Amino acid sequence: MKKFMFLIIVLILITQVFGISEFACIFINSNPSARGTAFGNNSGTADIWDTSPLGVWSNPAKLSYHENAAIGFTRVPWYKDSFDDYYLTSSYVSFKWKNFGILLPAPSEKKRWGTVMSYGQQVILDEDGNYIGSFDNYESCSKIAVGFNVADLLSNFTNNGDEQQYYDISIGFNLDIIKSGNYPSSIIGAKGSGNSLSTGIGLLGEISPLNNSNASDGLYRLDFTAGMYLINPFKSEIKYENESQSDPLPWGIHPAFSGKLSILKDADSNLNLESLIVNNIVSLYMSCDYALYGNYSKDNSGELAFGGEISLLDILFIRKGWYKENYSDNVEGKIGFGINCNYKKIVQFQYNFAQFTREWNKQKRNDFLLRIDFIKAYGLFL
């Protein structure tokens, strides 16, 4: 029988990194958003200010807060201290029309769309250790999601669309198309490739108490949000070519709370940044996220994360996060920053970076966002 012991070792290490041993395709639990990662690994469920397509990973209901058309992309080495050529690549586009947002996968790696976890080229050896060939070892997830603002829809239906709202309620759904290439049929005795579908349901609520008060004179804004993301609520499984029994896909729950206090730019302010859009002089953001995969138990108590951010002029963002996993007594920290440029609400570019240490590995994440209002952009040439 051909040996593929190295592949087995790889999968064991992956399981140790994620801390989840009962599921297949656990790569889908890896947060592709550098912003969300900076706040504590699985964070971002209630972060309505994260309008990158990559941020939809943590809650599809966030699509209701997106604007225009945007593309998000990341390609980062995956724990390069231990693995040479492992990469996490994620590429998505989002579109917003009125109260409705949609997320679609974009071309990625290995001729796949969306998120691809590449484990590099793996060799195939015979029973004597002789080289026979190689294969691409990867898994992929193509996410399709929709989100809409329920409060705005109800307001428009009751003809109160022109009245200022002090709350928002959003809901979102996602469908994940999952493929596993870890066990190709070319290896005798292997499972073969696997295919499956998974789903998710997201909820978001926002309240802005200062919007209903004249005490701030419109110079301050205070927002509180709460979110809930149900991952694979129907407990889908993945079926492999050469096996009659299916393996369970990750399922769980992500509840979260967050808040943001902003000092707004006065309309009469002398602040002039040419054509860059600045709404906030300074803002302070804080979040608390919890993630649980599988059934709660003494040995599986979930992951708790806290994060904070200070932003200046909607251009520079400094972030810090902490998280604690159920299988570790250590509280691990993360740091990150973001740079944002918004030109007349026509073109927006954003770069996010995060760095953290997990188990024995140092890991870095970065991602890019490009948002364009094509109607306004077209107007520039008229």
Residue 130 tokens, joined: 């002789």
| Span 200-221, average pLDDT | 77
Q: What is the CATH number of the domain that holds 346?
A: 2.40.160.40
Q: State the total domains in the chain.
A: 1
At 375, is the secondary structure helix, strand, or coil? helix
Per-residue confidence at 193, pLDDT binned at 50, 70, 90? confident
Q: Phi/psi of residue 136, each to 5°?
A: -80, 120
- DSSP summary character for residue 322: E
Euclidean distance between CA atoms 268 and 265, whole angstroms:
8
Q: Specify whether the CB–CB gap between 337 and 319 falls below 8 A.
A: yes
Q: What is the pLDDT of residues 43-68, one digit of tens each?
A: 899 999 999 999 999 999 999 999 89
Q: Specify whether the CB–CB gap between 128 and 42 falls below 8 A.
A: no
- Structural domain for 230, as ranges: 5-379
Euclidean distance between CA atoms 127 and 125, whole angstroms:
7
Question: Which residue shows structure tokens 């190295």?
Answer: 6
Say yes or no to pLDDT of 324 above 60: yes
Among 57-61, 82-86, 312-316, name the one with the lowest average pLDDT. Answer: 82-86
**Among 59, 92, 73, residue whose Cα is nearest residue 291:** 59
Buried b (16+ CB within 10 A) or exposed e, 205-234: bbbbebeeeeeeeeeebebebbbbbbbbee
At 156, is the secondary structure helix, strand, or coil? helix
Question: Which residue shows structure tokens 């809901």?
Answer: 171
Say yes or no to pLDDT of 12 above 50: no
**Chain centroid to CA 356: how far?**
16
Q: Give pTM, 2 decimals.
A: 0.85
